């Protein structure tokens, strides 16, 4: 936990960021008032944005502050409504029977759903993307585990580029769920 004096606006449980939890963009902000040991007008790089709060590091300490406490200097994405929605077809390895099937996937907010076909109305399964860990196995193949059910999910795409796009989107969606 952070010391209380560093969290004048905190309203939820904090935890340390792990080394692989990085924003896909690095917004830069200027503080409009002093936050903990960070002085007013200090420029900071935001490492995490969640529920209206920003997280950054100042003097080797992680600090949090409300988005109203800072002025955005540069960004490549909107902080408030940062959401990824991705759809497409990937091959998924089955559970107990290790068979591969092409499935249609829909990534919305912090969950990944898959369907037998694009026209299906209800998903076969929805995976909550909590604490996702992704490993690139081969050019078009990657695997993923989540703390939702500790299952190893294996996926294959048609191209390496598609694989990288899915990995990035899944990491961003996992970040939002924290």
Q: How far apart (Å, rounded) are the C-alpha atoms in residues 158 and 91? A: 9
Per-residue pLDDT band for 175 (boundaries 50, 70, 90) equals low
H or E element in which residue 154 lies: strand 152-156
Are 19 and 94 part of one and the same domain? no
Of 26, 53, 74, the position where a domain reaches its end is: 74
How far is the first Cα of the chain from the last one, in angstroms, to the nearest whole number?
Answer: 15
Answer with the one of 74, 95, 127 that is the final residue of a domain: 74
Establish if 79 belongs to a structural domain. no
What is the pLDDT, as a whole number, of residue 1? 31
Q: Assess if residue 80 is contained within a domain.
A: no
Q: What is the per-residue pLDDT across 43-61, written as a single tens digit (0 to 9) for each?
A: 888 877 766 778 888 998 8
The pLDDT, as a whole number, for residue 124 is 87
Q: What domain range is 69 assigned to? A: 4-74
Q: How many domains does the chain have?
A: 2
- List, for residues 141-159, the tens digit of each pLDDT value: 889 888 766 788 899 999 9
Candidate from 19-28, 89-98, 134-143 with smallest mean pLDDT: 19-28
* pLDDT above 70 as % of the chain: 74
Query: Is the pLDDT reported for residue 126 higher than 80?
Result: yes
């Amino acid at each position: 936990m952070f010391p209380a004096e560093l969290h004048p606006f905190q309203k939820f449980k904090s935890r340390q960021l792990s080394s692989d939890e990085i924003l896909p963009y690095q917004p830069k902000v200027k503080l409009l008032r002093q936050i903990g040991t960070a002085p007013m007008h200090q420029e900071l790089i935001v490492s995490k944005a969640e529920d209206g709060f920003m997280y950054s590091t100042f003097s080797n300490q992680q600090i949090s502050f409300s988005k109203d406490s800072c002025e955005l200097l540069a960004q490549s994405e909107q902080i408030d409504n940062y959401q990824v929605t991705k759809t497409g077809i990937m091959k998924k390895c089955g559970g107990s029977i290790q068979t591969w099937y092409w499935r249609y996937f829909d990534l919305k907010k912090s969950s990944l759903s898959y369907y037998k076909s694009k026209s299906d109305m209800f998903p076969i399964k929805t995976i909550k993307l909590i604490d996702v860990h992704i490993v690139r196995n081969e050019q078009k193949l990657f695997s993923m585990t989540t703390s939702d059910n500790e299952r190893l999910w294996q996926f294959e795409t048609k191209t390496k580029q598609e694989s990288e796009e899915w990995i990035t989107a899944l990491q961003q969606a996992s970040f939002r769920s924290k």
